[in-house]
Amino acid sequence: MSIREIRVCLLSFDTMGLITYHMQMMKVPSLCNESWVALDFETATRERNSACAIGLAFGRRTEIIGKASALIKPPGNKFEEFHTSLHGIDASTVERERTFPEIWPELIPAFSEVIVLAHNASFDIGVLQSCLDAYGIAYPSIQYYCTVDFARKMWPTLRNHKLNTVAKHLGIEFKHHDAEEDASVCARVVIECMKITGLEDIKLLAKVLKVKARYIC
């Protein structure tokens, strides 16, 4: 099994309280036709092209086999207070981070010929498309599913099917609006569906539960 590496910029504080930046190489397993990736974006403003963080959880059948995340400097490094209050990221956090087109070449392998999952996929896929549009980057060919659809089929009596509600029902504790943690919980929602049904193939799971696939290309 080959390994791909994704660079991720991380923010830390040294012993004097000064902000320091460093590059960490995150190793992510190569993906095959049994693999999938769960995606989550956080945005800086109400504009969909203002991605400021991305989280990915890579899976194969019923296992998470890798995770990756990165901060992203949005256009003009503009932030709205409401969004910062959700995820804690502001202009100073990402001042020295890379922009979306600078990080995109490292993300392309994550979406190559695998199924993409997102909770409330219209938002996350919309962010991806808006970022690509903003910088004139061609769309990759992606088949994706919204995990809200799976959750509604599996647990129809929940008061709603927001990520935190489903996570609580499944006994999962996590930091909401942290991109990597949200992506991981998204992955675990589908994994739980597969374990309950005994189906380890997402396409077959979707067929049995009558969840529609969606596409961008």
> Rounded to 5 degrees, what are φ and ψ at 6?
-120, 125
Domain chopping of the chain, boundaries:
3-216
Q: Is the domain 3-216 a CATH 3.30.420.10 member?
A: yes
Alpha-carbon separation of residue 176 from 149, 179, 182, 189, 204 (angstroms): 20, 8, 6, 14, 29
Least confident of 2-16, 55-69, 96-110, 113-127: 2-16
How far is the C-alpha of 107 from the C-alpha of 60, rounded, in Å?
Answer: 18
Mean pLDDT of the chain: 87
User: pTM of the predicted model, to two decimals?
Assistant: 0.85
Reported as a single tens digit per residue, the pLDDT across 35-77 is: 899 999 999 999 999 999 999 999 999 999 999 999 999 999 9
Reported as a single tens digit per residue, the pLDDT across 159-198 is: 999 999 999 999 999 999 999 999 999 999 999 999 999 9
Give the model's confidence band at 30: pLDDT under 50 very low, under 70 low, under 90 confident, else very high: low
Q: Which pLDDT value is given to residue 10? A: 40
How far is the C-alpha of 132 from the C-alpha of 138, rounded, in Å?
Answer: 7
Q: Which pLDDT value is given to residue 17? A: 36
CA angle in degrees (0–180, nearest 5) for 132-178-118: 55
